Amino acid sequence: MAVTRMDNMGIVVDDLPATIAFFRELGLELEGQATVEGDWADRVTGLRDMRVEIAMMRTPDGHGRLELSRFLAPRAEVDLRNAPVNTLGYLRVMFAVDDLDGTLARLYAHGAELASSEVVQYERAYRLCYIRGPGGLLIGLSEELG
């Protein structure tokens, strides 16, 4: 058997409404929101008495999804939001955009900041940058050139 698709990527956040607004501005669509709790959720995650608010965001092409989670119980124990880009484990998600400068201008209004001091061009193929979004989330943006 083989993987048939990547269903979603999960990101734990501390401000769900601000993070939803940020990803909407980026162009993702909100599919739905719910509160998840109960014995089945405890068994899946391995957390006791888990209670989490989730929002499922979908990319415009309909293929990619982000599951944004704000844990009400138990509280998050480790904070990697300001970890350097060479930290082991999940660190960032990358989105392709059609207008990097316009996208950045819109996201700055939602508190985004460049993670480095500049947007970089890779050969004649891409313009790339990392930004810090809501709560310090590291997000990559790339614009294909030509």
3-state secondary structure of 47: coil
Cβ-based neighbour number of residue 26 at 10 Å: 22
Query: Is the confidence at residue 13, as pLDDT, over 90?
Result: yes
Per CATH, 9-73 and 92-144 having the same topology is answered: yes
CATH of domain 92-144: 3.10.180.10
Return the CATH class of domain 9-73: alpha beta
Question: Would you place residue 82 in the very low, low, confident or very high pLDDT band (cuts 50, 70, 90)?
Answer: confident
Q: What are the sequence ranges of the domains in the chain?
A: 9-73, 92-144
Question: pTM score, two decimals?
Answer: 0.88
> Higher model confidence: residue 19 or residue 76?
19
Side chain identity, residue 31: E
Please state, rounded to an integer, the average pLDDT across all residues of the chain.
Answer: 91
Query: Is the confidence at residue 1, as pLDDT, over 70?
Result: no
DSSP state of 79: -
**What are the E-state strand segments in the chain?**
9-12, 29-37, 51-58, 65-73, 92-96, 113-114, 120-122, 126-132, 138-144
Side chain identity, residue 86: N
